[in-house]
Amino acid sequence: MKGIKKDFTLFAILLIPIGVAINVVAGELVELLKVPLFLNQIGTMIVAMVAGPWVGAITGGVSKLIFGIFNPTQLAFMPVAMASGIVVGLLAKKGMTTKIWKVAITGFIVALVAILIATPTTVIVFGGASGTGSDALTAIVLASGKEIWTAVITQKIFIESIDKILSIFVAYMIVRKMSDQYLAKQNYGHFYINKKKAS
């Protein structure tokens, strides 16, 4: 408990609204460009990487709350967004977001957790539907005679893994571009400081 509180410095708190706004604006941009993904948790992942899992979780949660103002079904997926923040943050603290291959592993784990949480939500709350074009995929699997759980999990595997892995790579590239001086002020920024310059 004390550890969680320690993460919420004024700097870290100020990252949250920016992470949230990035999620919202990136989500809108994806829609504008008609890309069939979400890419609306990049802000959450960046915040989780530099400020830790709990600050990341809040960023994800608040983002879904704000998405929910314009699309209430998004509120049901708040646990997915929060879990993404927590998983990225925990792995980042273990140094799992410092190299491309480590980022790839982190991406797989985040996608796995997202699939595990999003699937039951979609099946139980929304009868398997998501209201997006990817429902076609669910319908195809259903038509082949599989039951609803298999269909939804297949759809989530396709969508979530591409979405989450792409998102974490974007997040990683952006954190890499942050200045050392800026990173030094963040709770967990030291993982990304360019060692060559420091020594």
Interacting residue ranges for other proteins, rule: CB under 8 A: 8, 10-11, 13-18, 20-22, 24-26, 28-30, 33-36, 39, 42-43, 46, 58, 62, 65-66, 68-73, 75, 125-132, 135, 138-139, 142-143, 148, 151, 170, 173-174, 177-182, 184-185, 193, 197-198
First to last CA, the chain: 35
Q: Are 16 and 58 in contact (CB under 8 A)?
A: yes
To other proteins, the closest distance from the beta carbon of 114 in angstroms equals: 19
Count CA atoms within 13 Å of residue 4 on its CB side. 8
Count CA atoms within 13 Å of residue 181 on its CB side. 0
Give the residue with the Cβ less far from other proteins, 62 or 113: 62
To other proteins, the closest distance from the beta carbon of 171 in angstroms equals: 9
Give the residue with the Cβ less far from other proteins, 113 or 189: 189
Give the residue with the Cβ less far from other proteins, 113 or 175: 175
Residues 41, 131, 72: CA angle, nearest 5 degrees: 65
Query: Distance of CA 61 to CAs 19, 76, 83, 159, 181, Å?
Result: 11, 11, 9, 20, 29
Give the residue with the Cβ less far from other proteins, 101 or 198: 198
To other proteins, the closest distance from the beta carbon of 43 in angstroms equals: 8
To other proteins, the closest distance from the beta carbon of 33 in angstroms equals: 4
Q: Are 155 and 137 in contact (CB under 8 A)?
A: yes
